[in-house]
Amino acid sequence: MASALCLQVLCSLCGWLSLYTSLCRLNKRRSYEWSCRLVTFTHGVLSIGLSAYIGFIDGPWPFTHPGAPNTPLQVHVLCLTLGYFIFDLGWCIYFQSEGALMLAHHTLSILGIIMALVLGESGTEVNAVLFGSEITNPLLQMRWFLRETGRYHSFTGDVVDFLFVALFTGVRIGVGARLLFCEMVSPTPRWFVKAGGVAMYAVSWCFMVSIWRFAWKKSIKKYHAWRSRWSEEWQRKLNGHLKAH
Per-residue pLDDT reduced to its tens digit, 6-53: 999 999 999 999 999 999 999 999 999 999 999 999 999 999 999 999
Helical segments of 155-190, H only: 155-167, 176-185
φ and ψ at residue 121, rounded to 5 degrees: -150, 170
The one-character DSSP state at 63 is T
Q: What is the mean pLDDT of residues 76-80?
A: 96
- Amino acid in position 3: S
pLDDT at 144: 95
Please, what is the average pLDDT of the chain? 90
| Residue pLDDT, tens place only, 143-161 | 999 999 999 888 899 899 9
pLDDT at 215: 82
pLDDT at 224: 66
pTM for this prediction: 0.87
| Residue pLDDT, tens place only, 82-102 | 999 999 999 999 999 888 989
Q: How far is CA 124 from CA 66, 96, 111, 132, 179, in A?
A: 6, 33, 16, 13, 11
Taking a C-beta distance cutoff of 8 angstroms, is the pair 123, 74 a contact? yes
Checking phi first, is residue 67 left (phi over 0); if not, alpha (psi -120 to 50) or beta?
left
Which residue, among 138, 131, 144, has the nearest Cα to 74 in the 3D structure? 131
User: Which secondary structure element, helix H or strand E, spans residue 173, and what is its range?
Assistant: none
Cα separation of 77 and 8, whole Å? 10
Rounded to 5°, the CA angle 37-168-94 comes to 30
pLDDT at 234: 59
Q: Indicate the pLDDT class of residue 1, thresholds 50, 70 and 90.
A: confident
Q: What is the mean pLDDT of residues 201-211?
A: 92
Facing residues of 69 across strands? 121
Residue 123 has pLDDT above 70, yes or no: yes
**Residue 7: exposed, middle, or buried by beta-carbon count in 10 A (0-12, 13-18, 19+)?**
exposed
Spell out the domain ranges in the chain.
1-242
Facing residues of 121 across strands? 69
Angle at which helices 191-244 and 100-119 pack, to 10 degrees?
A: 140
The one-character DSSP state at 66 is T
Checking phi first, is residue 198 left (phi over 0); if not, alpha (psi -120 to 50) or beta?
alpha
Cα separation of 39 and 78, whole Å? 17
Q: What is the mean pLDDT of residues 213-227?
A: 76
Q: What is the mean pLDDT of residues 110-139?
A: 94
Q: How many CB atoms lie within 10 A of CB 217?
A: 10
pLDDT at 33: 95
Q: Which residue has the higher pLDDT, 3 or 34?
A: 34
